[in-house]
Amino acid sequence: MRYIVFLIIVFSSIKLFGQPGFIENKGQWNSNALFKTDIPNGALYLEKDGLTYNFIKGEDIKHSHAHHGEKNNLDNNRLVHLHCYKVKFGNTSLEKIQPVDVYSDYTNYFIGNDPKKWVSKALKYNAVHYKNLYDNIDFQIYFNKSQNLQYDFLVKPGGNTDDIRLTYEGQDDLYVDTDGSLIVKTSINKVTELKPFAYQEINGEQVKIPCKFLIRNGNVAFQFATDYNHNEPLIIDPTLVFSTYTGATTDN
């Protein structure tokens, strides 16, 4: 018996520069970050216990790009508006974090004047796999063929989808709206996780399974209106939309 909890993150009509992927941390970022990927108006950091979204106000990005290299421009001292929030995995039984599908290109980081602190050949991967994140449940995050960011939970025999609990921290507000979408509000933007679409493939046919977001004791989970076939894979598919941004991406 195997269930798959399947989620896709789509950045509406945004093309990230270059081939998207997860760059390993070799000391160029905070030690909590294991991997990083650019997202519209910010960055996503993969950590042992969750995901951290780091956003910068779009107008500040455009201003920074416009004055890049102008050392004597007084406006470069203006404030930059940032907002971070984290999605924590909760109580886990994590065994291993394994990057998958390495790319041929790499990134060098020359930060500061001390060559000892420079980083060379930081590898980039298409996917990162969290083995046994919960008991008999794996988690993986990756870029699909359309270069959309996607993640899924793979529930193996003995696993229980009720064990999946995602704790959101740092946002201004978190709620489920009348359409059934999960709304994450920050001081910079609003992230909408559209109402999850759940289904199973049984005998070559798609069987829809009613599913909705549930916020319980500060944790986000999935709730099913009816039971489903526990002998077949189950796919839960919400989509994330970032509502207020200009389309700029951050510099590495």
pLDDT computed for residue 76 by the predictor: 59
Neighbours of 222 (CB within 10 A): 19
* pLDDT, tens digit, 9 for 90 and up, residues 198-230: 787 889 999 898 889 999 887 999 888 888 787
- CA–CA dist 182, 52 (Å, integer): 17
pLDDT computed for residue 2 by the predictor: 57
3-state helix, strand, coil in the chain (%, to 5): 10, 50, 40
Given a cut of 50, is residue 27 above it in pLDDT?
A: yes
CA distance readout (Å), 242 to 9, 39, 129, 188, 233: 10, 10, 25, 10, 29
* pLDDT, tens digit, 9 for 90 and up, residues 71-125: 454 455 678 889 999 999 988 999 999 999 999 999 999 988 888 889 999 999 9
Residue 59 DSSP SS3: helix
Enumerate residues 6+ apart whose C-beta is below 8 A from 172.
Answer: 185, 186, 187
Domain map of the chain by residue range? 3-242
pLDDT computed for residue 111 by the predictor: 85
